[in-house]
Chain A
Amino acid sequence: MINLLYASIGSLGFGMVFKANKNKYIYITIGGLLNYLAYYLSYKYSNNIFLSSAVCAVVTRMYANVMSIILKCPTTIFTLTGLIPIVPGGSLFYMMQNLVLKNTNEALNQGIITGEVILGIVSGMLFASSILTIIRAIKKKLISF
Protein backbone atom coordinates (compact mmCIF):
# COMPACT_ATOMS: atom_id res chain seq x y z
CA MET A 1 0.00 0.00 0.00
CA ILE A 2 2.95 2.32 0.65
CA ASN A 3 3.72 1.85 -3.05
CA LEU A 4 0.86 4.24 -3.73
CA LEU A 5 2.82 6.99 -2.02
CA TYR A 6 5.99 6.16 -3.96
CA ALA A 7 4.09 6.03 -7.26
CA SER A 8 2.59 9.47 -6.74
CA ILE A 9 5.94 10.95 -5.68
CA GLY A 10 7.50 9.42 -8.77
CA SER A 11 4.85 11.05 -10.95
CA LEU A 12 5.51 14.38 -9.28
CA GLY A 13 9.22 13.96 -9.98
CA PHE A 14 8.48 13.36 -13.62
CA GLY A 15 6.27 16.42 -13.69
CA MET A 16 9.36 18.37 -12.64
CA VAL A 17 11.57 16.61 -15.18
CA PHE A 18 9.16 17.61 -17.94
CA LYS A 19 9.08 21.17 -16.57
CA ALA A 20 5.38 21.37 -15.77
CA ASN A 21 3.93 24.56 -14.33
CA LYS A 22 4.23 24.84 -10.54
CA ASN A 23 0.49 25.17 -9.94
CA LYS A 24 -0.12 21.78 -11.66
CA TYR A 25 2.07 19.75 -9.28
CA ILE A 26 -0.78 18.75 -7.01
CA TYR A 27 -2.94 17.49 -9.91
CA ILE A 28 -0.01 15.56 -11.35
CA THR A 29 0.53 13.85 -8.00
CA ILE A 30 -3.14 12.90 -7.83
CA GLY A 31 -2.88 11.55 -11.38
CA GLY A 32 -0.03 9.22 -10.45
CA LEU A 33 -1.91 8.07 -7.36
CA LEU A 34 -5.10 7.34 -9.33
CA ASN A 35 -3.14 5.48 -11.97
CA TYR A 36 -1.47 3.12 -9.55
CA LEU A 37 -4.64 2.73 -7.49
CA ALA A 38 -6.48 1.58 -10.64
CA TYR A 39 -3.68 -0.87 -11.42
CA TYR A 40 -3.52 -2.19 -7.87
CA LEU A 41 -7.26 -2.77 -7.52
CA SER A 42 -7.78 -4.31 -10.95
CA TYR A 43 -4.74 -6.57 -10.53
CA LYS A 44 -5.99 -7.71 -7.14
CA TYR A 45 -9.38 -8.75 -8.49
CA SER A 46 -8.49 -10.04 -11.97
CA ASN A 47 -4.86 -11.18 -11.54
CA ASN A 48 -4.34 -10.27 -15.19
CA ILE A 49 -1.49 -7.93 -16.12
CA PHE A 50 -2.82 -7.08 -19.56
CA LEU A 51 -6.31 -6.22 -18.33
CA SER A 52 -5.14 -4.14 -15.38
CA SER A 53 -2.72 -2.07 -17.47
CA ALA A 54 -5.54 -1.42 -19.94
CA VAL A 55 -7.84 -0.35 -17.10
CA CYS A 56 -5.31 2.05 -15.66
CA ALA A 57 -4.56 3.55 -19.08
CA VAL A 58 -8.28 4.24 -19.49
CA VAL A 59 -8.47 5.80 -16.02
CA THR A 60 -5.45 8.03 -16.67
CA ARG A 61 -6.78 9.15 -20.03
CA MET A 62 -10.18 10.00 -18.58
CA TYR A 63 -8.60 11.86 -15.66
CA ALA A 64 -6.41 13.83 -18.07
CA ASN A 65 -9.41 14.76 -20.17
CA VAL A 66 -11.50 15.89 -17.23
CA MET A 67 -8.62 17.91 -15.81
CA SER A 68 -7.86 19.53 -19.15
CA ILE A 69 -11.47 20.68 -19.40
CA ILE A 70 -11.50 22.01 -15.83
CA LEU A 71 -8.08 23.70 -15.88
CA LYS A 72 -8.13 24.63 -19.59
CA CYS A 73 -4.71 23.21 -20.47
CA PRO A 74 -3.40 20.47 -22.80
CA THR A 75 -4.13 16.83 -21.88
CA THR A 76 -0.49 15.95 -22.55
CA ILE A 77 0.52 17.28 -19.13
CA PHE A 78 -1.52 14.63 -17.32
CA THR A 79 -1.14 11.67 -19.68
CA LEU A 80 2.64 11.99 -19.84
CA THR A 81 3.12 12.09 -16.09
CA GLY A 82 0.20 9.91 -15.04
CA LEU A 83 1.24 6.84 -17.00
CA ILE A 84 4.72 6.76 -15.45
CA PRO A 85 4.12 4.30 -12.57
CA ILE A 86 3.11 1.43 -14.86
CA VAL A 87 5.85 1.89 -17.45
CA PRO A 88 7.50 -1.55 -17.50
CA GLY A 89 11.02 -0.50 -16.48
CA GLY A 90 11.42 -3.33 -14.00
CA SER A 91 10.55 -6.20 -16.30
CA LEU A 92 12.68 -4.73 -19.09
CA PHE A 93 15.67 -4.73 -16.76
CA TYR A 94 15.07 -8.27 -15.49
CA MET A 95 14.74 -9.48 -19.08
CA MET A 96 18.13 -7.99 -19.91
CA GLN A 97 19.73 -9.34 -16.74
CA ASN A 98 18.49 -12.86 -17.38
CA LEU A 99 19.63 -12.72 -20.99
CA VAL A 100 23.10 -11.81 -19.81
CA LEU A 101 23.04 -14.61 -17.23
CA LYS A 102 21.76 -17.07 -19.90
CA ASN A 103 18.47 -17.83 -18.08
CA THR A 104 16.56 -17.91 -21.34
CA ASN A 105 13.25 -19.09 -19.86
CA GLU A 106 13.11 -16.37 -17.21
CA ALA A 107 14.18 -13.77 -19.80
CA LEU A 108 11.35 -14.86 -22.09
CA ASN A 109 8.92 -14.66 -19.18
CA GLN A 110 9.93 -11.10 -18.31
CA GLY A 111 9.89 -10.13 -21.99
CA ILE A 112 6.31 -11.38 -22.27
CA ILE A 113 5.34 -9.32 -19.21
CA THR A 114 6.92 -6.22 -20.78
CA GLY A 115 5.02 -6.83 -24.00
CA GLU A 116 1.79 -7.47 -22.11
CA VAL A 117 2.00 -4.17 -20.24
CA ILE A 118 2.83 -2.21 -23.40
CA LEU A 119 -0.01 -3.81 -25.37
CA GLY A 120 -2.34 -3.29 -22.43
CA ILE A 121 -1.60 0.41 -22.20
CA VAL A 122 -1.90 0.79 -25.96
CA SER A 123 -5.30 -0.92 -26.08
CA GLY A 124 -6.48 1.06 -23.06
CA MET A 125 -5.50 4.32 -24.75
CA LEU A 126 -7.21 3.13 -27.92
CA PHE A 127 -10.42 2.33 -26.07
CA ALA A 128 -10.41 5.67 -24.23
CA SER A 129 -9.69 7.73 -27.33
CA SER A 130 -12.38 5.99 -29.37
CA ILE A 131 -14.93 6.71 -26.64
CA LEU A 132 -13.82 10.35 -26.44
CA THR A 133 -13.99 10.73 -30.22
CA ILE A 134 -17.52 9.34 -30.32
CA ILE A 135 -18.61 11.66 -27.50
CA ARG A 136 -17.11 14.64 -29.30
CA ALA A 137 -18.78 13.69 -32.59
CA ILE A 138 -22.19 13.35 -30.92
CA LYS A 139 -21.75 16.74 -29.23
CA LYS A 140 -20.99 18.39 -32.56
CA LYS A 141 -24.05 16.76 -34.14
CA LEU A 142 -26.25 17.99 -31.30
CA ILE A 143 -24.94 21.54 -31.56
CA SER A 144 -25.43 21.65 -35.31
CA PHE A 145 -29.05 20.55 -35.06
Chain B
Amino acid sequence: MKYKLKEILSLSLDIGERMLKCGAEISRVEETIKYILEGYGIKYMEVFAMNSLIIVTIRKEDESYTESRRIMHIDKDLYQLEKLNELSRNICNKNIPRKEVLKQIDSFKGKYKVMPIIGGMIAAPAFTLFFGGNYKDAIISLLIAVVLCAYNQFMSHTHINALINSFISSFIIGITSILFVKIGLADNFDKIIIGNIMLLIPGLSMFISINDIFKGDTMSGLGRFTEGLFLALVVGAGVGLSLIMLGGLL
Protein backbone atom coordinates (compact mmCIF):
# COMPACT_ATOMS: atom_id res chain seq x y z
CA MET B 1 0.00 0.00 0.00
CA LYS B 2 1.27 3.44 -0.95
CA TYR B 3 -0.22 5.57 1.82
CA LYS B 4 -0.60 5.35 5.57
CA LEU B 5 -3.97 4.26 6.95
CA LYS B 6 -4.37 7.56 8.82
CA GLU B 7 -3.85 9.61 5.70
CA ILE B 8 -6.46 7.66 3.74
CA LEU B 9 -8.95 7.98 6.58
CA SER B 10 -8.53 11.74 6.83
CA LEU B 11 -8.76 12.13 3.08
CA SER B 12 -12.05 10.26 2.79
CA LEU B 13 -13.49 12.25 5.70
CA ASP B 14 -12.41 15.56 4.17
CA ILE B 15 -14.51 14.83 1.11
CA GLY B 16 -17.43 13.41 3.09
CA GLU B 17 -17.53 16.38 5.42
CA ARG B 18 -17.53 18.88 2.57
CA MET B 19 -20.31 17.01 0.75
CA LEU B 20 -22.52 16.95 3.83
CA LYS B 21 -21.90 20.66 4.37
CA CYS B 22 -23.00 21.37 0.81
CA GLY B 23 -26.33 19.67 1.40
CA ALA B 24 -25.92 16.11 0.08
CA GLU B 25 -28.14 13.24 1.21
CA ILE B 26 -26.77 11.07 4.00
CA SER B 27 -26.69 7.91 1.93
CA ARG B 28 -24.68 9.64 -0.80
CA VAL B 29 -22.06 10.72 1.74
CA GLU B 30 -21.79 7.24 3.21
CA GLU B 31 -21.52 5.62 -0.21
CA THR B 32 -18.85 8.08 -1.37
CA ILE B 33 -16.70 7.45 1.69
CA LYS B 34 -17.07 3.70 1.21
CA TYR B 35 -16.09 3.88 -2.47
CA ILE B 36 -13.05 6.02 -1.74
CA LEU B 37 -11.83 3.69 0.98
CA GLU B 38 -12.37 0.69 -1.26
CA GLY B 39 -10.50 2.47 -4.03
CA TYR B 40 -7.51 2.81 -1.72
CA GLY B 41 -7.61 -0.90 -0.97
CA ILE B 42 -9.16 -1.02 2.48
CA LYS B 43 -11.44 -3.97 3.15
CA TYR B 44 -12.79 -3.55 6.67
CA MET B 45 -14.58 -0.31 7.48
CA GLU B 46 -17.48 1.04 9.51
CA VAL B 47 -18.99 4.22 8.11
CA PHE B 48 -21.73 6.10 9.88
CA ALA B 49 -23.07 9.51 8.89
CA MET B 50 -25.78 11.67 10.40
CA ASN B 51 -26.98 15.15 9.61
CA SER B 52 -24.50 16.54 12.14
CA LEU B 53 -21.77 13.91 12.51
CA ILE B 54 -19.63 11.47 10.52
CA ILE B 55 -17.71 8.63 12.16
CA VAL B 56 -15.45 6.27 10.23
CA THR B 57 -13.38 3.38 11.56
CA ILE B 58 -10.98 1.41 9.38
CA ARG B 59 -9.12 -1.78 10.26
CA LYS B 60 -6.17 -3.60 8.80
CA GLU B 61 -4.68 -6.63 10.51
CA ASP B 62 -4.07 -5.46 14.10
CA GLU B 63 -4.21 -1.71 13.37
CA SER B 64 -7.41 0.29 13.63
CA TYR B 65 -8.14 4.00 13.38
CA THR B 66 -11.24 6.09 14.07
CA GLU B 67 -11.93 9.65 13.09
CA SER B 68 -15.05 11.75 13.46
CA ARG B 69 -16.18 15.11 12.12
CA ARG B 70 -18.87 17.34 13.57
CA ILE B 71 -20.93 19.28 11.02
CA MET B 72 -22.20 22.54 12.43
CA HIS B 73 -24.19 24.26 9.74
CA ILE B 74 -25.24 23.34 6.25
CA ASP B 75 -24.94 25.84 3.44
CA LYS B 76 -26.36 24.60 0.14
CA ASP B 77 -23.78 24.72 -2.63
CA LEU B 78 -24.67 22.58 -5.63
CA TYR B 79 -21.58 23.52 -7.66
CA GLN B 80 -19.25 22.17 -4.99
CA LEU B 81 -21.40 19.07 -4.62
CA GLU B 82 -21.15 18.32 -8.31
CA LYS B 83 -17.39 18.87 -8.38
CA LEU B 84 -16.84 16.75 -5.27
CA ASN B 85 -18.80 13.95 -6.88
CA GLU B 86 -16.48 14.08 -9.89
CA LEU B 87 -13.41 14.28 -7.68
CA SER B 88 -14.40 11.25 -5.63
CA ARG B 89 -14.95 9.26 -8.82
CA ASN B 90 -11.46 10.24 -10.01
CA ILE B 91 -9.87 9.35 -6.69
CA CYS B 92 -11.28 5.83 -6.83
CA ASN B 93 -9.59 5.21 -10.15
CA LYS B 94 -6.17 6.76 -9.51
CA ASN B 95 -5.05 7.20 -5.94
CA ILE B 96 -3.79 10.72 -5.18
CA PRO B 97 -2.05 11.94 -1.98
CA ARG B 98 -4.04 13.95 0.54
CA LYS B 99 -2.29 17.25 -0.13
CA GLU B 100 -3.43 17.21 -3.73
CA VAL B 101 -7.01 16.37 -2.73
CA LEU B 102 -7.10 19.22 -0.21
CA LYS B 103 -5.80 21.61 -2.83
CA GLN B 104 -8.54 20.55 -5.24
CA ILE B 105 -11.26 20.82 -2.58
CA ASP B 106 -10.13 24.35 -1.76
CA SER B 107 -10.22 25.34 -5.41
CA PHE B 108 -13.97 24.54 -5.55
CA LYS B 109 -14.72 26.84 -2.64
CA GLY B 110 -16.33 30.25 -2.98
CA LYS B 111 -16.68 30.23 -6.74
CA TYR B 112 -20.17 31.73 -6.91
CA LYS B 113 -20.26 34.56 -4.42
CA VAL B 114 -22.49 37.05 -6.20
CA MET B 115 -24.83 34.48 -7.75
CA PRO B 116 -27.04 33.90 -4.67
CA ILE B 117 -27.84 37.62 -4.52
CA ILE B 118 -28.73 37.75 -8.21
CA GLY B 119 -30.74 34.56 -7.81
CA GLY B 120 -32.72 36.07 -4.95
CA MET B 121 -33.33 39.17 -7.04
CA ILE B 122 -34.73 37.00 -9.84
CA ALA B 123 -36.69 34.52 -7.73
CA ALA B 124 -38.55 36.94 -5.42
CA PRO B 125 -40.19 39.06 -8.17
CA ALA B 126 -40.92 35.92 -10.20
CA PHE B 127 -42.89 34.42 -7.33
CA THR B 128 -44.62 37.71 -6.58
CA LEU B 129 -45.90 37.64 -10.16
CA PHE B 130 -46.58 33.90 -9.93
CA PHE B 131 -48.95 34.37 -7.01
CA GLY B 132 -50.80 37.16 -8.81
CA GLY B 133 -49.08 40.44 -7.96
CA ASN B 134 -48.66 43.26 -10.51
CA TYR B 135 -45.45 44.81 -11.85
CA LYS B 136 -45.23 47.46 -9.13
CA ASP B 137 -45.27 44.73 -6.50
CA ALA B 138 -42.56 42.84 -8.35
CA ILE B 139 -40.22 45.85 -8.30
CA ILE B 140 -40.74 46.37 -4.57
CA SER B 141 -40.20 42.70 -3.86
CA LEU B 142 -36.93 42.89 -5.80
CA LEU B 143 -35.82 45.74 -3.53
CA ILE B 144 -36.72 43.78 -0.42
CA ALA B 145 -34.88 40.73 -1.76
CA VAL B 146 -31.72 42.83 -2.12
CA VAL B 147 -32.02 43.97 1.49
CA LEU B 148 -32.65 40.38 2.60
CA CYS B 149 -29.64 39.00 0.72
CA ALA B 150 -27.42 41.74 2.10
CA TYR B 151 -28.63 40.93 5.61
CA ASN B 152 -27.95 37.21 5.10
CA GLN B 153 -24.49 37.90 3.69
CA PHE B 154 -23.75 40.13 6.67
CA MET B 155 -25.01 37.57 9.17
CA SER B 156 -23.34 34.55 7.59
CA HIS B 157 -20.06 35.32 9.36
CA THR B 158 -21.60 35.41 12.81
CA HIS B 159 -22.99 31.85 12.67
CA ILE B 160 -26.28 32.76 14.31
CA ASN B 161 -28.79 29.93 14.66
CA ALA B 162 -30.72 29.42 11.41
CA LEU B 163 -34.08 29.54 13.21
CA ILE B 164 -33.44 32.94 14.76
CA ASN B 165 -32.05 34.21 11.49
CA SER B 166 -35.18 33.19 9.55
CA PHE B 167 -37.39 34.72 12.21
CA ILE B 168 -35.64 38.07 11.93
CA SER B 169 -35.60 37.92 8.11
CA SER B 170 -39.30 37.13 7.85
CA PHE B 171 -40.05 39.92 10.32
CA ILE B 172 -38.03 42.36 8.18
CA ILE B 173 -39.91 41.19 5.07
CA GLY B 174 -43.27 41.75 6.73
CA ILE B 175 -42.46 45.20 8.11
CA THR B 176 -40.86 46.58 4.94
CA SER B 177 -43.56 45.34 2.58
CA ILE B 178 -46.36 46.76 4.71
CA LEU B 179 -44.55 50.10 4.92
CA PHE B 180 -44.03 50.21 1.14
CA VAL B 181 -47.72 49.57 0.55
CA LYS B 182 -48.60 52.19 3.14
CA ILE B 183 -46.48 54.79 1.32
CA GLY B 184 -48.28 53.87 -1.88
CA LEU B 185 -45.48 52.45 -3.98
CA ALA B 186 -47.14 49.04 -4.32
CA ASP B 187 -50.64 47.59 -4.12
CA ASN B 188 -50.67 44.09 -2.64
CA PHE B 189 -48.52 43.61 0.44
CA ASP B 190 -49.49 39.92 0.69
CA LYS B 191 -48.06 39.09 -2.74
CA ILE B 192 -44.79 40.85 -1.92
CA ILE B 193 -44.50 38.97 1.36
CA ILE B 194 -45.22 35.62 -0.31
CA GLY B 195 -42.64 36.21 -3.02
CA ASN B 196 -39.94 36.92 -0.48
CA ILE B 197 -41.02 34.22 1.95
CA MET B 198 -40.36 31.66 -0.78
CA LEU B 199 -36.67 32.52 -0.38
CA LEU B 200 -36.79 31.47 3.26
CA ILE B 201 -39.10 28.49 3.20
CA PRO B 202 -37.01 25.39 3.50
CA GLY B 203 -39.67 22.98 2.34
CA LEU B 204 -37.02 21.56 0.10
CA SER B 205 -34.82 20.12 2.77
CA MET B 206 -37.99 18.62 4.17
CA PHE B 207 -38.78 16.77 0.96
CA ILE B 208 -35.21 15.65 0.45
CA SER B 209 -35.31 14.17 3.95
CA ILE B 210 -38.00 11.74 2.78
CA ASN B 211 -35.36 10.23 0.50
CA ASP B 212 -33.06 9.78 3.48
CA ILE B 213 -35.75 7.98 5.45
CA PHE B 214 -36.46 5.56 2.63
CA LYS B 215 -32.81 4.71 2.24
CA GLY B 216 -32.63 3.63 5.87
CA ASP B 217 -31.32 6.77 7.58
CA THR B 218 -34.37 7.29 9.74
CA MET B 219 -32.63 9.36 12.39
CA SER B 220 -31.11 11.99 10.17
CA GLY B 221 -34.16 12.03 7.89
CA LEU B 222 -36.40 12.78 10.85
CA GLY B 223 -33.92 15.36 12.08
CA ARG B 224 -34.02 17.24 8.79
CA PHE B 225 -37.78 16.90 8.52
CA THR B 226 -38.30 18.42 11.96
CA GLU B 227 -35.82 21.17 11.14
CA GLY B 228 -37.87 22.03 8.05
CA LEU B 229 -41.15 22.05 9.99
CA PHE B 230 -39.71 24.34 12.64
CA LEU B 231 -38.29 26.72 10.06
CA ALA B 232 -41.72 26.97 8.42
CA LEU B 233 -43.31 27.67 11.80
CA VAL B 234 -40.71 30.32 12.61
CA VAL B 235 -41.21 32.07 9.26
CA GLY B 236 -44.96 32.08 9.90
CA ALA B 237 -44.39 33.52 13.35
CA GLY B 238 -42.14 36.30 12.07
CA VAL B 239 -44.65 37.39 9.45
CA GLY B 240 -47.48 37.09 11.96
CA LEU B 241 -45.67 39.36 14.40
CA SER B 242 -45.13 42.02 11.76
CA LEU B 243 -48.82 41.81 10.81
CA ILE B 244 -49.84 42.25 14.44
CA MET B 245 -47.57 45.26 14.85
CA LEU B 246 -48.34 47.09 11.61
CA GLY B 247 -51.58 45.45 10.45
CA GLY B 248 -53.57 48.37 11.86
CA LEU B 249 -51.91 50.77 9.43
CA LEU B 250 -53.59 49.28 6.38
Q: List chain A positions with a Cβ less than 8 A from chain B.
A: 3, 6-7, 9-10, 12-21, 24, 57, 73-74, 76-77, 79-80, 83-85, 87-90, 92-97, 99-101, 118, 121-122, 125-126, 129-130, 133
* Nearest A residue (CB) for B28: A74
Once A6-B127, A15-B119, A74-B82 are accepted as A-B contacts, the answer to whether A88 and B240 lie under 8 Å apart by CB is no
* Complex contact A89–B122 (CB within 8 A): no
Interface size class of B (residues with CB under 8 A): 35 or more
Residues of A close to B130: CB separation below 8 A? 3, 6-7, 10, 85
Q: How far is the CA of A135 from the CA of B199 in the complex (A)?
A: 35
Once A9-B122, A85-B130, A121-B207 are accepted as A-B contacts, the answer to whether A19 and B198 lie under 8 Å apart by CB is no
Q: How far is the CA of A18 from the CA of B115 in the complex (A)?
A: 9
Per DSSP, chain B at the interface is helix
Q: Mark B191-210, 1 if CB is under 8 A from A, else 0.
A: 00110011101011011101
Q: Mark B117-150, 1 if CB is under 8 A from A, else 0.
A: 0111111101101110000000000000000000
Q: How far is the CA of A77 from the CA of B208 in the complex (A)?
A: 11
Residues of B close to A12: CB separation below 8 A? 119, 122-123
* Complex contact A19–B214 (CB within 8 A): no
Contact residues, B164-219 vs A (CB, 8 A): 190, 193-194, 197-199, 201, 203-204, 206-208, 210-211, 214
* Complex contact A125–B210 (CB within 8 A): yes
Q: How far is the CA of A92 from the CA of B131 in the complex (A)?
A: 13
Residues of A close to B127: CB separation below 8 A? 6, 10, 89
Q: List 27 A-B contacts (CB under 8 A).
A: A7-B130, A10-B127, A10-B130, A12-B122, A13-B121, A13-B126, A17-B76, A17-B116, A17-B199, A19-B76, A74-B24, A76-B28, A80-B204, A83-B203, A87-B203, A89-B127, A89-B131, A90-B194, A94-B190, A95-B236, A96-B239, A97-B239, A100-B240, A100-B243, A129-B210, A129-B214, A130-B214
